[in-house]
Amino acid sequence: MNNILDIVGIENYIFLSVLLFCIGVFGVLYRRNAIIVFMSIEIMLNAVNLLFVAFSTYHQDAEGQVFVFFSMAVAAAEVAVGLAILVSIFRNLGSIDIANLKNLKG
Amino acid sequence: MQTLIAISALGVFCLLAEIFNLRKALVPVTIVGLLAILGITLNLWSIDSSIDEQYKSMIVFDKFSAGFSSLFIILTIFLIALSHDVYKDHQTKISDFITIKVFLLAGAVAMVSFSNLSMFFIGIEILSIALYILAASKRLDLKSNEAGMKYFLMGSFASGIILFGICLIYGATGYFDVAEIYALSQGAGLPIWFPIGITLMIIGMLFKIAAVPFHFWAPDVYEGSPAITTALMSTLAKVVAMATLYKLLSGLTVGLTYNFEIIIVIVSIASMTVGNIMALRQKNVKRMLAFSGISHAGFMLMALLSLTNAASTLLYYTSAYALAGMASFAVIIYVTKNKDNEDIINFNGLGKTNPLLAAVLTASLLSMAGIPIFSGFFAKFMLFTQTIKAEYLVVVIAGVINSIISVGYYFKLILAMYTKEATEEKQATPFVYYAVGVISIVLNIIIGLYPSLVTNLIN
Amino acid sequence: MDVTTILILLLVGAIATYFSGDKLASKVALFFSVATLGVSLYLLNEFSKGETINYLGEWMEYPKVYLALQADGLSMLMVLLTTALTPIIIFSSLGNTYSNAKSFYALVLFMSFAMTGTFLAVDGLLYYIFWELALIPIYFIALIWGNGDADKRKKAVVKFFIYTLAGSLFMLVAFAYLYQKTNNFLLGDFFNLRLSATEQFWIFAAFFLAYAIKIPLIPFHTWQAKVYQKAPTVGTMLLSGIMLKMGLYSVIRWQIQIAPQAAKTLMPYLIGLSIAGVIYGSIIALRQKDLKKLLAYSSLAHVGLIAAGCYTLTLDGLNGAVYQMIAHGFVIVGLFFVAEIIHRRYETREISAMGGIRSQSPKFTSLFMILVLASVALPGTYNFVGEFTVLYSLSQVNIWFAVFGGTTIILGAYYMLKMFQNVMLGETNTKVFASITTNEIITLVIIIAFLLFFGLYPKPITDLVNPAIKDILIHINR
Amino acid sequence: MENSLVLLLLLTPFVGFLFNVFFGKKISRNVSGTIGTIAVVVSFAMSIFFFMQLNQTGKVIQVKLFDWITVSNFKLDFGILLDQLSLLWLLFVTGIGSLIHLYSISYMHDDENLHKFFAYLNLFIFFMITLVIGSNLLVMFIGWEGVGLCSYLLIGFWHKNQDYNDAAKKAFIMNRIGDLGFLIGIFIIASLFTTLDFVELKEIVLGGTNSGNALLSVATLCLFIGATGKSAQLPLYTWLPDAMAGPTPVSALIHAATMVTAGIFMITRMNFLFDLTPYIQEIIAVVGALTALVAASIGLLQNDIKKVLAYSTVSQLGLMFLALGLGAYNVAVFHVITHAFFKACLFLGSGSVIHALHGEQDMRKMGGLRKVMPITFATMLISTLAISGIFPFAGFWSKDEILLVAFQNHHIAFAKVLWVVASIASIMTAFYMFRLMYLTFFREFRGTEEQKHHLHESPSLITFPLIVLAALATIGGAINLPGSNWLNHFLEPILVTKYEHHALGTQEYMLMAVALAGAIIGIGWAYSKYIKQAFVPKEDSAITGFSKTIYNKYYVDEFYTFLIVKPLNGLSNFFRTTLEPALGKVVYGFGTVANGLSNQGRKLQTGSIGLYLFAFVIGVCAIIIYLFLAQNIA
């Protein structure tokens, strides 16, 4: 069977995932609710994952897709830790607004 | 490779120890285990830089990785030794902390011995996640939480960037295997996103070593985290990141392009200057050392300007820096143990109440400031010579000026210890602080007097 | 036996002193310093017999550093200056009691260890290490045992430390640069480099920064007066008696030899600057209210003249400079000790609070008088020999240098005699001046005897130094 | 043998010094004085011995003790040279020295630091001998500075009085100014001839053709500056009058007879050089004449008996320098010797007067001492006649010779002018000297009753030296009577330009007559004023007009203070209070700037994650963009 990329073209995948990535970045930059920030980060990571898959098809080898599994696992672990921290913050602070975290400065 | 396996095994053992109620014995056992592993690692010099067949294209355990791994192990030993006293109040969790540290070490070793980008990614994530946890490990302390959160957010952001970088490289070359990529990178005709990928990865690492302008997290996180975690970050984590960055660049590319060297030069100078200048007016010691760490990162970046032969110098600098840092943190942890903050005032009159620790701290600060016979001096000197050879005199001049500035704040601490009157009388000091402080500073001086001990490990 | 013995002895002495406890510390330190003096005299004898007392050993492979210790006439003389002054200084300090004496005397010995090393090392990095090491003990001595308001002192001392360190770091860069070319730090190999004019200029400048701050030459002298004033007298003696000479010695040993071309081109300006320092120091000394500060400025003037001698790059200039170093080393130590003697009795260094001491303590007065006369280079004292030679060399370069440099003869007499008059003469002081102790007399007499003897018979020193300087000139005029 | 004798000559005073320093306090007062005196007498004996020897053999004695200073192109040994000149000086230095020591035993008897006094005197003699017998310029310089030191010590001998100390300091520093000149001169000579040894120098100079060498003129000028310092010539003379703060024997020995003549000695030593530099000689002559005039004019109105003598010393020295400038070294030497006799006598006499009046020095409070102190009066009268140049006293011959050479000189265009100036000076001399005599010894006593009650002639220890000196002042002229000219012959080996002996013609007699007349006029003037009109000088406050200016020494001291001392101190203050802190601030400046930046920088570290991430992203973008641009440009 012939490669989907012959039809669509790898560039588009790249542009798409770059776009996604940037959306993630901006989300991280401009949202103050920790949960949403997490999600934005997830978007970034998934944008990359998407690209991985695209590339792996492009190169016709599986490594890329394997890597995606790695990264997903890692991301999950990360988020788990992140949420844990968030919980304790919520206990102490009663809010999950990252803008309130300004005790350490100077 | 044995090292990595052994470390992971040790980590697992620690977890089991929790189950079997071996908490008391945990610390000593772990230390012994690590010493054994150190032995194994050092033993590897008989087999010189050979890729381990069994894990083809995943792990390469050559002199570079062996050298740095041993440094990491030593540092971890110190940290674990300290944790015995630090965590004696919550014995229940001690095994967790130790386990995390051990796994963190595993991640670190993985980072300096990867031969495949996936390995590198996993390593760095193990390290980071462990650090997030440790940073936030004081659950009830808001500062600690904040530190953890900040570190987590920015860290995972950086991970995203790194991942993107890896992805682009993979896209450009079709390989995760370092050797393959290197081979390809020599030939022309790689798509534009290959250099972008490299750049993004480097930026990610620059974040990890807290180089300007990616340094903002460092002071806050250092200040907020528990002292022992700060110690870990400023010694182990920084060194790991630096080593990895070097390995990445030397592994993936045929030397840096001129433009990229310019960037390194700028970042290096900026880091030195910003770090030192900012440190001048800090009251909190941990924060001060965070900034000093930033400036040291700037120094270490010099090594990247002569990629081909700076490995030994880098190892030397990092060990000098890390040992001095470890010594100073041993003292800092002791002094600030029962304090609510780590301000310099707490060090007043230490010269009288506890001359030995004061001497240790003084020595370590002098080493960081780069005063002779302490290894810090030779480290700086080697960097300078190498950078002059690479014809980046301007960086050297900046470095010199910065070392002058740095004396300013290092000596604030010394002055406090020797000229101010003590606020409280001497309290009992657990032996371990003396042990860690003295041993590490002695090691520092020894490699100062015989740099070849370290420099000969690599090259 | 070679020169390492001296270093080892001093180092061991420092350690032994530290562990001997506060009671014994001063005695032990004194013992070791005297022993060192003995050893160095023995070595001098060996040296003059033509025995080789140098030491050359490997130290580091990378960077390539040798333990290269070499004693030619010049180094030998400077080492003797150090090992002779150290016991005198320690002995003079017996009259005081220091808290935590063991650390104090240990630091003193350690400092003299470092300075001796500086005078002996002919390997750039080794030399630099000693150079820096000498800084640390004096920093702590001045910081912890100094006098006056703690914060002011701290400010002065830290400034001193950072300032001198700043200077020397540039010297380090120069060494790093040279290391690129030779792949080791041996002075001998540095000579053989054919450095371009620009290289020489920059290297010379880097060295100059280090030395101008250490010596100090104007306008780099601002640390001096305050530190001299704040430091305990022992520290001041070490600083003014020996440490300044490190800078001047280094000018001869390193700076003008490694970059002779630059030295030659810059000569007029360097001499001009030094002489400006002479005049500046003398004038500013006229109106000092604090005895130690006055002496500080007087020594600023003197070292200015010495530096001028060094930069003439002539045989006489260098010889004279060396003579002056020795003479000044002794006389300034003596004078600071005099200040200390008065301080022990009057608890002040304010000149205005003194006066009318002569009628109470004629012995002390006479000794003080002789020191004053020595410092104004009266013929018959060794200072005259030095000053004459230096001024002569200046006159050979350009008569006007000699004229302006010579103003020190007039101004020196002016401020020293004025000081002497206000401190010692006049109506008998109401405060009782306890008669001077035997120890104090011995200390002063030793110094004076030295100055007078060599003032009349300088030949031994001349014969010791001359060959060394001749060799150096060969390197300069290569 | 000879060497040891030379050393004996040199070192006995030094031994005396050491002895008095270390044991003076323990032994009785008279003993220390006696020892001090003996020490000098021994040297005197030695001098005589060598003098005799030289007279018989005519062989100059040279002794090289040891190497001293070595510089690149020549060596300086510590050598001794006993030739006609040095022996001549030795004779009267040690001779008068011994007399004055003798005198001091009694004069200083009540002083607590008697032993110190003698120690210093001995030390002075030692250095003076060194100065005189040194075989090269630098050894001479040792003595040169040494005597300066002793003069410093002795002027400030009563150290509790800060004014005296000031005077001492002034003397030393003024001398130092000269010494710098001297040193520079030495340097130039050394670089020209690569030796400082007198004998060698003379050979080289006479051998080579250095005349007209500009540097040489500079050298001699510098030497002369040195001389002006030591011998109190314009413009450096002001220290000498102040030096009268010292005990009177000191004034007699150091500031009249011996030390102040060192300048003349040195120039005479170097006559072969000065002969080559006529311009400098002219300068010397002019300076000498002017000094003579100025000092004499100041002397006219002084009321302090010692001040009068001091100024007269300055003016006499001026005359000697005039002679030197005219190339008549032997005449200068002649006057040095006679002057030593009568001036020493005068000082000692005044000392005896002061002694009798318990320290009163103001002539306005004296008078009528003739009857109570006959010996003092007689001796002083003789000396006064001598200094005023009355026939046949010593001063007449020497001074007349000076005027003669001034009148007959053909090298200097304006020699006649100089002659006139000198003559006026000597008329003034006659005037103020007799003014002194009249005010002190004639008419009735003007002091307090209490003083009058204690008036007495001084003990024999004081009067004996007076008598001896007076005798010498009378007959001293014999050594160089126009007929015999023994001194001139004696000095011939030293001097290059032979002094032409002109037979005593009418001109000479005329000049003598004129000089004598001048002296008599002066005396008459004084007589009419102070005896006939019985005039007594007014109180200081009452003095007005030009005489006030003169009385205040033309305000030269004030002028110097204003011109040099004040600016110097001002500068010093400026440096201390303004420049130093400024320089300090510059250094601190770096630190301040850094700290300031630090404070600003800390504001950036707001703690807001958003900002941090923003900076992060900016950094990323910046780097990537830079790379792109660089790529495309390249």
Per-residue pLDDT of chain B (459 residues; tens, 9 = 90+): 788 889 999 999 888 887 887 777 888 889 999 999 998 888 776 655 454 545 667 888 888 888 899 999 999 999 999 988 888 777 778 888 899 999 999 999 999 988 889 999 999 999 999 999 999 988 888 889 999 999 999 999 999 999 999 999 998 888 888 888 888 888 777 888 888 899 999 999 999 999 988 999 999 999 999 999 999 999 999 999 999 999 998 888 877 788 888 999 999 999 999 999 999 999 999 999 999 999 999 999 999 988 888 888 999 999 999 999 999 999 999 988 888 888 888 888 888 888 899 999 999 999 999 988 899 999 999 999 999 988 899 999 999 999 999 998 998 899 889 888 887 777 778 888 999 999 999 999 999 988 888 888 876
Q: Please give the Cα distance from B314 to B297 (Å, whole number).
A: 11
What is the pLDDT at residue B31?
92
A59 closest CB neighbour out of B142, B174, B219:
B174
Q: Please tell me the distance from the alpha carbon of residue C56 to that of residue C50, in angstroms, as a whole number.
A: 17
Instruction: For residue C14, give the nearest of C141, C118, C110, C111 by alpha carbon.
Output: C110
DSSP per-residue codes, C272-284:
HHHHHHHHHHHHH
Q: And the tokens for D335? A: 């006057």
Q: Interface partners of B (3+ CB pairs, < 8 Å)?
A: A, C, D
C-alpha–C-alpha distance, residues D250 and D121, integer Å: 8
DSSP secondary structure, C319-378, as one string: HHHHHHHHHHHHHHHHHHHHHHHHHHHHS--BGGG----TTT-HHHHHHHHHHHHHHTT-
Give the span between the Cα atoms of D519 and B337, in whole angstroms: 103
Strand runs labelled E in B280-436? none
Which chain D residue's Cα is nearest to B162?
D620
Nearest CA to CA, how far is D612 from chain B (Å)? 6
The number of residues in chain D equals 634
- To the nearest whole Å, the CA of B154 is away from the closest chain D CA by 7
Q: How far is C238 from D165, CA to CA, in rounded Å? A: 33
Q: Do D624 and B199 touch (CB under 8 A)?
A: yes
* Nearest residue to B389 (alpha-carbon basis) of C179, C205, C201: C179
Partner-chain residue, chosen from B312, B389, B455, that has the shortest CB–CB distance to C180: B389
Of D160, D173, D569, the CB nearest to C410: D173
- Asked if the Cβ–Cβ distance from D160 to C356 is below 8 Å, we say yes
Q: How many CB pairs under 8 A join B and D?
A: 69
How confident is the model at residue D397, as a pLDDT?
85
Q: Which chain C residue lies closest to D176 (C-alpha atoms)?
A: C410
Mean pLDDT across A2-15: 79
Distances, alpha carbon D140 to alpha carbons B282, B338, C383, D63, D80, in Å: 67, 78, 17, 14, 10
**Chain B residues within 8 A of A63 when measuring between CB atoms:** 118, 170, 175-176
Instruction: Check if the beta carbon of residue D529 is closer than 8 Å to that of residue D435.
Output: yes
Chain B hits for A54, CB-CB cut-off 8 Å, are 171
For residue D211, the model assigns a pLDDT of 56
Q: pLDDT value at position B2?
A: 80
Extract the residue ranges of chain C whose pLDDT is less than 50: none
Instruction: Supply C339's token pair.
Output: 């200040």
**Which residues does C89 contact at the CB level (< 8 Å), separation at least 6?**
C108, C234, C237, C238, C241, C333
Count the Cβ atoms, other than its own, within 10 Å of residue D629: 11
Angle, in degrees to the nearest 10, between helices C459-476 and C260-286: 130
Residues of chain D falling short of pLDDT 70 = 1, 209-212, 498-504, 634
**C371: Cβ contacts below 8 Å, ≥ 6 apart:** C331, C334, C335, C338, C444, C447, C448
Interatomic CA distance for residues C292 and C224, integer angstroms: 11
Fold entry, domain A9-94: Helix Hairpins (1.10.287)
Phi/psi of residue C69, each to 5°? -115, 120
pLDDT of residue C347: 86
- Asked whether the beta carbons of B233 and B294 are under 8 A apart, the reply is no
Instruction: Please report which helix (H) or strand (E) contains residue B9, including its range.
Output: helix B2-19
| Phi-psi map region of C147: left, alpha, beta (phi>0 left; psi -120 to 50 alpha) | beta
Element counts in chain C: helices (H) and strands (E): 21, 2
Q: What angle do CA C145, C149, C153 make, to 5 degrees?
A: 60
Cα–Cα distances in angstroms (integers) from residue B29 to residues B1, B86, B324, C52, in the given order: 22, 17, 26, 57
Residue D634's CB is within 10 A of a number of other CB atoms, namely 8
Cα B285 from Cα D490, distance rounded (Å)? 91
Mutate which of A101, A104, A105 to test chain D, going by most D C-beta atoms within 10 A? Answer: A105
Amino acid at C464: L
CA–CA gap between residue D254 and residue D245 (Å, rounded) = 12
Report chain A's mean pLDDT, rounded to a whole number. Answer: 88
Any alpha helices (H) in D231-328, and if so which ranges?
A: 239-242, 248-252, 262-269, 271-274, 278-299, 305-325
**Residue pointed to by tokens 């007559």:** D513
Q: Which of D14, D68, D194, D588 to mutate to test the interface with C (most CBs of C within 10 A)?
A: D68
Cβ contact A–C (≥3 pairs, < 8 Å): no
CB–CB contact B153 A92 (8 Å) = no
pLDDT of A1 = 47
CA D129 to chain centre: 15
Residue at D609 is within a domain: yes
DSSP structure string for B225-258: S-HHHHHHIIIIIHHHHHHHHHHHHHHHSSS--H
| C-alpha span between C407 and C308 (Å, rounded) | 14
Residue with tokens 């053999």: D57
Give the span between the Cα atoms of C133 and B372, in whole angstroms.
7
Asked if D444 and D367 touch (Cβ cutoff 8 Å), the reply is: yes
C95-98: which pairs have CB atoms within 8 A and are 24 or more residues apart? Answer: C95/C340, C95/C344, C95/C437, C95/C439, C95/C440, C96/C232, C96/C233, C96/C234, C96/C340, C96/C344, C98/C145, C98/C232
Chain A interface test: which of B163, B221, B282, B287 (most A C-beta within 10 Å): B163
Residue in the block written with tokens 């000026």? B401
Contact D453, D444 (CB under 8 A): no
- Which residues have a Cβ under 8 Å from the Cβ of C323 and sit 6 or more positions away? C382, C385, C386, C389, C390, C458, C461, C462, C465
- Count of structural domains within chain D: 1
DSSP state of C431: S
- C-alpha B264/C-alpha B245 separation (Å) is 12
> Cβ of B277 and D597 within 8 Å?
yes
Q: Nearest Cα to D176, choosing from C392, C328, C402, C412?
A: C412
Neighboring chains of C (3 or more beta-carbon pairs < 8 A): B, D
B359 inside 8 A of chain D by CB: no
pLDDT of residue D24: 79
Cis link prior to C63 (omega < 30° from 0)? yes
Residue D628, in any domain of the structure? yes
Contacting chains of D (3 CB pairs or more, <8 Å) are: A, B, C
Q: Which of A100, A102, A103 to mutate to test the interface with D (most CBs of D within 10 A)?
A: A102
d(CA B266, CA B395): 9
Coil, strand or helix at D503 = coil
What six digits make up the tokens of D292? 């003579």
Chain B residues closer than 8 Å to D619 by CB? 203, 213-214
Residue of D nearest to C457 (CA): D68
What is the rounded distance in angstroms from the CA atom of residue D173 to the CA atom of residue C138? Answer: 37
pTM over 0.80: yes
Domain that holds residue D589: 559-633
**Residue D6 token pair:** 């030379």
Q: Output the pLDDT for position B53.
A: 46
Q: Is the dihedral of CA D241, D247, D252, D257 positive or negative?
A: negative
Candidate from A29, A30, A104 with C-beta closest to D607: A104
Q: Using an 8 Å CB-CB cutoff, list chain A residues near D613.
A: 28-29
Neighbours of A20 (CB within 10 A): 19
Q: Does residue C95 contact residue C15 with C-beta atoms inside 8 Å?
A: no
What share of chain C in percent tops pLDDT 70?
100
Whether omega before B226 lies within 30 degrees of 0, making that bond cis, reads no
Distance CA B34, CA B8 (A): 11
C contacts of D144 (beta carbons < 8 Å): 379
Quote the pLDDT of residue B276.
93
Is-contact C45 C37, C-beta < 8 A?
A: no
> Looking at the DSSP assignment, which residues form a beta bridge with residue C381?
C379
Residues of A in contact with B224 (CB under 8 A): 103-104
